[in-house]
Structure 1
Amino acid sequence: MNYVILAGGSGTRLWPISRNSKPKQLSQLVGDLSMIEETYHRLGKNQSVFISTNSQFAPLIKKLLPDIPAENYIIEPDKRDTGPAMAFVAAWMSLKHPNNPMILLPSDHHIRDKRTFMEVIEAAENLINSRQVLINIGIQPTFPNTSLGYLEVGEEISKEAGVHVYEFKRQKEKPDYKTAKKFLDQGNFFWNVGSFAWTPNKFIEAYKKFAPVIGDHLNELIHDLESGGDGSEAFSRMEKVSIDYAVIEKIDPRQVLTIRGDFGWADLGSWDQLFDQLADKADAEGNLVKANWHGVDTRNTLIYGPADKIITTLGVSDLVIVDSDDALLVTPMSRAKDVKKIVELLSYKKLQQHL
């Protein structure tokens, strides 16, 4: 199996730590390692690791992951959503390993059970080799999440080395709360966390068949990459759509299997999500702290800041307090999902230096 770590995106919900110049995957949100370092170490420093990113982030990642050779970096010419991005990865990988299974792994996911995670990947590789199917990884929902898409599954068809494998029925876009609650109650819907596995050539075939707005430019892209170019012209003509809309929603379900990922997955996509997922690390008063903090009568609060600055609190609860070199965020925990509104405000006021 070839592992492609997807590290080209940037988010706003973890501002002020996640920035345009240094997104969350390059930040130390949980422990002493950045999220991309954790992702790499989870794979056992495997030599079949490739990094998909852009020219802005590549130098930063190379400093964090010096063991990965420069020739294993897939440099996207531009940001054009996951549809073109994954097509670019498939085209690039097709020149090196056209028929070898590869798995696309987001660099900013938190995984608790590394052993089961690797067992899932091994099962995916075996299924691709034996059945030539696309594999998507789904997570059993624990609450009505409206921030993720869903995978509807059918019967459980096998246990591949103890890993649960299901028929794939269809994909559902991000639902409203009522629909998400229905999915949760039905029990045959998994969260779609953006991890797919197949061979590069199979991905390319699917793009050409189901997404001509992308697939029609793949031959030109491959030829340009093969000739030493960066593929920017062909890439710029690919429509900005998600891989879900471009391929997954249109593919014959019989060509897809879903593996349930029981490996303690968490998307640390907002400060309240981070607080919830790391609740077991909180102190006796329910405070989650990664800072030089001293407080009195403080409860259920997330406190994040640099080691060389003291943060103090008195008589507060249910807050998010995040301090960085040039910005401080204070918000009720209940509003933490709305941090992007602050980012939009700063952008409107042309304070890009703080974004």
Structure 2
Amino acid sequence: MESVVAEDARSCALHTLIKMKRLHWWLLVALNIFFLLAGQAASVLLGRFYYDKGGNSKWMATLVQTAAFPVLFIPYFLTSSSEKPSGISNSPSLGIVSLNYLVLGAVIAGDNMLYSVGLLYLSASTYSLICAMQLAFSAIFTLFINRQKFTVLILNSVVILTISASFLAVNDSSDEPSGVSKGKYAIGVLTTLGASALYSLILSLMQLSFERVLKKETFSVVLEMQIYTSFVATCVSIIGLFASGEWRTLSGAMDGFQTGKVSYAMTLAWTATAWQICSVGIVGLIFLVTSLFSNVISTVSLAVTPIAAIIIFNDKSNGVKILAMLLSFWGLATYIYQNYLDDLEARSKINDTDTRNESSC
């Protein structure tokens, strides 16, 4: 009889522990979602502000997307010192890990450059809506690289977002920034689409790195990934800044910035900070959930940012853009609903076991 009571007590304790761990997991997910949404919306709007007020360096716009990575050392040291070793004996070699960070960092720098060109030639609202295509690209990459399942609802989301981006691509470009020709508008559309595809590939490769290369189960690995890849991307961006000769125009750009030199410096500083906050949220969600889920949350911001751009920058809101915005929300909603169904299915399986334990508690 005593053994039965002891077994019931252990079952109750295990059930409580599972509930606490799940709550802790949801809190971390919510925190990273906030980082991603706030950081991405702020960085896109500040990036457009930089170009609108006289900033003209694409490499500087690329550099600020990763240059603020040193601030991550503060949470990294706090997190790593409080975490217990994962106990994994087959840790990867330093060479393999270094090569992993080097390749990802270089690809991230190229992706950031494509985004900078796209934002230069497109309005903030059009840019954000085209970026929503990254969810469609991510669904495809995760299917082949991460073996993510591809349901009817996800397929619907991919198709709807593709149609939304197509409407903007064939738009009459009436909302293009001042001084941008139709040819440059087309370049902006193509580079933004290319950046979205490359970004989705990066997320899938990051998830694969967590699973196959790093093989750690601590949150500090998330910060390590962001710090080292950002360091490589920053070095590549600095090389590009000097190799292109754009560094010679920085002084003149600061002097001619419409809102003043201090505003120029603060715009770049806050843009860099916003990008790092966004990146932590992105990588954190890859670690906690999947790369596709991270991309979905990122798309939430991209669907909301056009509204903010219309209010802040007075971007033109024609019928095509409104239709594209509605389609983006529809495509996003269908994928979120699929995640809701998956979560319900997972919970029902857990509850079948937990109900029996609760009855004996």
- What TM-score do the two structures reach when normalised by structure 2? 0.23
Higher RCO, Cα 8 Å, sep 6+: 2
Which of 1 and 2 has greater Rg? 2
- What TM-score do the two structures reach when normalised by structure 1? 0.24
